[in-house]
Amino acid sequence: MRGKLLFFIILLSFSFYSYASEIEKAKEILKKGKTEKYEESLTQFDRGYILLKGGQFEIENSFSYIYYSANQIYLSSFAILDPIFLTLGEFGIENARRHIFQYNLALRYGIADFLQAEVNIPFIFRHERYSVVGTNAGERTADDYGFGDVSIGLSIQPIKERKSRPAVILSLAFKTKTGKSPFDVDDPKKDLPTGSGYYAVKGGINLLKSIDPVVVFGGLAYSYNMPEDVGRVYTLNTGGGTTSAKLDKFYPGDTLSFNIGFAYALSYNFSMNFQFAQDYTFTSKSKVNGVKSDVNNSTMNSATLKIGTGWALSKRSSLNVSLTMGLTNDAPDYVIEFRLPVRF
């Protein structure tokens, strides 16, 4: 009898242990699932911080609207015609309103779990309105559209995130000049560029650290903007006659970029993110009629604050919406962006 009772107790204990073990396993699976969902919702703010897994392919369609107002012709890479007008004495204070609609197709492929390749193909439509300050002249408008500058990039993650250290991602990108160059524009008031007109190489480092339920991220990048041989003579009507000058070469200033922010999961499939970004562009130079000199007012300091949301539609896709507000005169007034990445 004692033997049977002892056997029953052992059997009961083993069953209870097995049952408890299964419960723990179930809890671990559930916890892992929740963690993955949190990570999924938190990692939708920027693919530059989270790489695709090896063999994964992603197509991202994005649309952005950029509004920019200024009292002079001065907008990012499109401002490189300014030195010509300054040289020819044609520059004046203008009130410019720019509406830029941009569709971008991004193709990404995970070569390995730590290595990702990417191609970006932009299409741009621009609508601009001008009025000269201090005159009764009416507004002039200009429209143009076309492909922008295609870029290709490679990202590698040499260090994975651990409890005591952040994940590190290194990136290298090359920007072509497939868009319409400002140097090929005859009249910037009627014909608008859709590209920068020069090649660029950009290298950067991004850091990412999860502090449940928040993800903190930040990055530093440097863009080397390559000199462009122009060799074109520009002739302008100055009222009392015409004057001309030859722009031999243009040396765009390099750009140093910095950003920092965090993302917060409001639920398993919805998150919000906040990001501060700053781009500082050094002084550009130009060689006009054989004389090389600095381009006045070509140093730019563009700072922005971005507020975004990420909504996981399924395991393969998400919808990301963001609003970016300019904090300095060199930044766009605001940018509204929609991104829809789909993984295969």
Answer yes or no: is pLDDT of 75 > 50.
Answer: no
92 vs 193: which has the higher pLDDT: 193
> Quick check: 245 and 88 in contact, CB under 8 A?
yes
Compute the distance between CA of residue 290 and CA of residue 230 in angstroms, rounded to an integer. Answer: 12
Q: Residue 160: what pLDDT?
A: 86
Q: Cis before residue 341, ω within 30 degrees of 0?
A: no
Q: For residue 232, what is the enclosing H or E element?
A: strand 228-237
- pLDDT band at residue 269 under the 50/70/90 scheme: confident
Distance of CA 201 to the CA centre of its chain: 15
Question: Exposure of 142 by Cβ count < 10 A (0-12 exposed, 13-18 middle, 19+ buried)?
Answer: middle
Q: Which residues of 247-270 are buried (b: 16+ CB within 10 A; e: fewer)?
A: bbebbbbbbebebebbbebeeebe
- pLDDT band at residue 135 under the 50/70/90 scheme: low
Residues, the chain, total? 344
Out of 44-58, 89-103, 293-307, pick the least confident: 89-103
In this prediction, residues 147-157 reach a mean pLDDT of: 93
Out of 18-27, 112-121, 196-205, 291-300, pick the least confident: 18-27
pLDDT tens, position by position, 314-337: 888 889 999 999 999 888 999 999
pLDDT tens, position by position, 85-99: 333 344 445 677 889
211 vs 139: which has the higher pLDDT: 211
- pLDDT band at residue 84 under the 50/70/90 scheme: very low
Out of 68-72, 257-261, 262-266, pick the least confident: 68-72
Q: Which residues of 311-342 are buried (b: 16+ CB within 10 A; e: fewer)?
A: ebeeeeebebebebebeeebbbeebebebebe
Up-side HSE of residue 138: CA atoms within 13 Å toward CB? 2
Q: Which of 199, 202, 201, 196 is nearest to 179 (CA)?
A: 196
Compute the distance between CA of residue 205 and CA of residue 53 in angstroms, rounded to an integer. Answer: 19
Distance of CA 337 to the CA centre of its chain: 11
Compute the distance between CA of residue 216 and CA of residue 260 in angstroms, rounded to an integer. Answer: 8
DSSP 147-216: E---EEEEEEEEE--BTTB-EEEEEEEEE---SPPGGG-S-TTTS--SS-SS-EEEEEEEEEEEETTEEE
pLDDT tens, position by position, 196-245: 889 999 999 999 888 877 889 999 999 999 999 888 887 766 556 677 77
* Joined tokens for residue 30: 């559930």
In this prediction, residues 163-192 reach a mean pLDDT of: 86
- CB count, 10 Å around CB of 272? 17
Q: How far is CA 227 from CA 80, 196, 287, in A?
A: 12, 12, 11
Answer yes or no: is pLDDT of 8 > 70.
Answer: no
- CB count, 10 Å around CB of 71? 11
179 SS3 class = coil
Percent residues over pLDDT 70 in the chain: 74
Compute the distance between CA of residue 173 and CA of residue 239 in angstroms, rounded to an integer. Answer: 45
What's the pTM? 0.78
Q: Residue 76: what pLDDT?
A: 36
Compute the distance between CA of residue 43 and CA of residue 270 in angstroms, rounded to an integer. Answer: 10
**The amino acid at 274:** F
Compute the distance between CA of residue 205 and CA of residue 270 in angstroms, rounded to an integer. Answer: 27
Answer yes or no: is pLDDT of 37 > 50.
Answer: yes
Report which listed range, 136-145, 210-219, 299-308, is most confident.
299-308
- pLDDT band at residue 282 under the 50/70/90 scheme: very high
- pLDDT band at residue 30 under the 50/70/90 scheme: very low
